Amino acid sequence: MSNIPHVLILGGGFGGLSAANEIRNNLSSLQIKITVVDKKDWFMVGFAKLWIIKGTRTFENSIGSLNELVKKEINFLKEEVLQIDLQNKNIRTTTKTLPYDFLIIAMGAVLAPEKIPGLSENGMNLYDHDQLTEIHNKLKKIKSGNIAISIMGMPYKCPPAPFEASLLIDSMLREKGVRDSVQIHFYSPSPITLPAAGPEISQQILNLINSENIVFHDSCKIKLVEKNKLIFQNGEANFDLLLAIPPHVAPKVIYDSGLAKEGGFIPITRDCKTPFENVYAVGDVTTLIVNDTMAVPKAGVFAEGEAITVAQNIISKIQSKKESSLFDGKGGCFIESGRDTASLIEVDMFSEPKPSTKLTESTAEHLAEKIQFEKERLSKWL
Ligand SMILES: Cc1cc2nc3c(=O)[nH]c(=O)nc-3n(C[C@H](O)[C@H](O)[C@H](O)COP(=O)(O)OP(=O)(O)OC[C@H]3O[C@@H](n4cnc5c(N)ncnc54)[C@H](O)[C@@H]3O)c2cc1C
């Protein structure tokens, strides 16, 4: 039996991959054993999904293989996590039981279209990688009618992404010469476009989509979907093509382990600890409350920042140093305009007296930075 401590990382997404790499870049395989478990063996930066919808990318050109991790002496196991046993400090997958000394839960959020009656039968899921090519093909065929983009639950991943999707779809239809005969309607349960970014930036985003004739409908809380019809608590709307952002939940195994209440996410503070010793949680599977009205948004940059915080704290424990890092809450999300430019929403969630957000000008340079953001992550993590 080796007495090298074992870090087990559940999930090979933004959080899992950044934690694994940060630890391995600082500690050798003689100091720590690292295992990443994921039910799939590929990673994709979330926003590449929108490029697949637009048709400038394919799925195959947008993924990195988790099998590359072994080259860095990070074990990878492609299996589903079925049980987390916090008392006995192990997890069970389809075929194995793996013990851990440190556990990092980075399992993301799960899309739950089944929570909205009629959605799966009558609409497409804008965030589901399996539906992207079909969405692209439907958009390619459309010549006239009504496209509805509908946010069906809060919180959801990357709050600006559905707006960016509407702008990219607008540009696709413009390039095809059919934009004048296709209407794009955007439905949100919120009173403003981006509650996490505050009223001023929300107004700027509203102006941006309105300038492309995308109509925003606020406070539309979905009840159910029928054929070609959205039924809200306060009204109805017709559509020819529905692109939905379904409600998000945590993976079932998180509820089974008691780490989160049914339908919610794992509550953490800025040290990303759970109540269990050496068990941490990062990214979309968590809720990190900032103040009475706000939590850290679900975004890759924040999952990455939290994962690095946890990694640094594990590294200092192994090196017998004082554990001290706290997640700084800083990050940025790009919004592509559909006109070969992008702007950047810069966020500082823990600035005093309140979270600060800034929206930059939309420029070709920011679009280049966005492309670089993806390239960098794929090359440094895999
Ligand atoms: C269209 C779109 C655009 C986006 N744009 C941006 C952007 O511009 N900037 C940004 O920062 N973020 C963006 N995001 C959000 C970003 O992708 C997520 O916030 C990020 O992936 C969260 O990282 P995570 O590690 O918490 O979870 P994930 O990256 O989702 O990783 C979780 C992993 O856990 C695995 N898993 C789950 N359950 C199990 C199980 N039971 N067994 C085994 N494995 C399991 C999953 O397969 C998955 O690989 C976007 C998302 C979308 C959908």
Q: pLDDT tens across 229-280, in order?
A: 999 999 999 999 999 999 999 999 999 999 999 999 999 999 999 999 999 9
Q: Quote the pLDDT of residue 322.
A: 83
CA distance 149 to 171: 15
Residue 249 to residues 91, 106, 112, 265, 301: CA-CA distances in angstroms?
21, 14, 7, 7, 20
Q: Is the CB of 334 under 6 A from ligand 1?
A: yes
253 Cβ inside 6 Å of ligand 1: yes
Asked whether 38 lines ligand 1 (CB < 6 A), one says yes
10 Å Cβ neighbour count for 122? 18
Q: Is the CB of 81 under 6 A from ligand 1?
A: yes
Ligand 1 atom nearest residue 252's Cα: 41
The whole-angstrom separation of Cα 308 and Cα 20 is 9
CA gap 381, 332 in Å, rounded = 19
Q: What are the pLDDT digits (tens) for 27-72?
A: 999 999 999 999 999 999 999 999 999 999 999 999 999 999 999 9
Q: How confident is residue 293, by pLDDT bands cut at 50, 70 and 90?
A: confident
Band (351; pLDDT cuts 50, 70, 90)? very high
To test ligand 1's pocket by mutation, which of 157, 169, 309, 346 has the most ligand atoms within 8 angstroms of CB? 157
Q: Could you give the 3-state DSSP secondary structure of residue 367?
A: helix
Confidence of residue 2 (pLDDT cuts 50, 70, 90): low
67/316 Cα distance (integer angstroms): 28
Query: What is the overall mean pLDDT for the chain?
Result: 96
Residue nearest to atom 15 of ligand 1 (CA): 299
| Statement: residue 320 has pLDDT above 70 | yes
Which residue has the CA at smallest separation from atom 41 of ligand 1? Answer: 81
Report, in angstroms and rounded to the nearest whole number, the Rg of the chain calculated over CA atoms: 21
Half-sphere exposure of 70 (CA within 13 A, CB side): 6
- Ligand 1 centroid–CA 39 distance in Å is 13
For ligand 1, say whether the CB of 347 is within 6 Å of any of its atoms. Answer: no
User: Does residue 349 contact residue 358 with C-beta atoms inside 8 Å?
Assistant: no
What is the distance in A from the centroid of ligand 1 to the CA of 37?
14
Q: Give the total residue count for the chain.
A: 382
Q: Which residue has the tokens 């959020």?
A: 109
- What's the pLDDT at 191? 97
> Where do the domains of the chain lie, and which CATH numbers do they carry?
6-109+250-326 (3.50.50.60), 113-242 (3.50.50.60)
Q: Is the pLDDT of residue 223 over 90?
A: yes
Structure tokens at 32: 């720590």
- Dihedral, 315, 318, 322, 324 alpha carbons, nearest 10: 30
Give tens-digit pLDDT for 362-373. 999 999 999 999
CB 284 within 8 A of CB 248: yes
Measured from the CA of 40, which atom of ligand 1 is nearest? 47
Per-residue pLDDT, averaged over 115-132, amounts to: 98
**C-alpha–C-alpha distance, residues 330 and 332, integer Å:** 7
Which pLDDT band, with edges at 50, 70 and 90, does 341 fall under?
A: very high
pLDDT, one tens digit per residue, over 147-165 is 999 999 999 999 999 999 9
The pLDDT, as a whole number, for residue 331 is 95
| pTM of the predicted structure, to 2 decimals | 0.97
Percent of the chain whose pLDDT exceeds 70? 99
How far apart are alpha carbons 232 and 189 in whole angstroms? 9
The torsion of the CA quartet 10, 13, 19, 23, rounded to 10 degrees, works out to 90
The pLDDT of residue 299 is above 60: yes
- At 324 the pLDDT is 81
Cβ–Cβ under 8 Å, residues 140 and 58: no
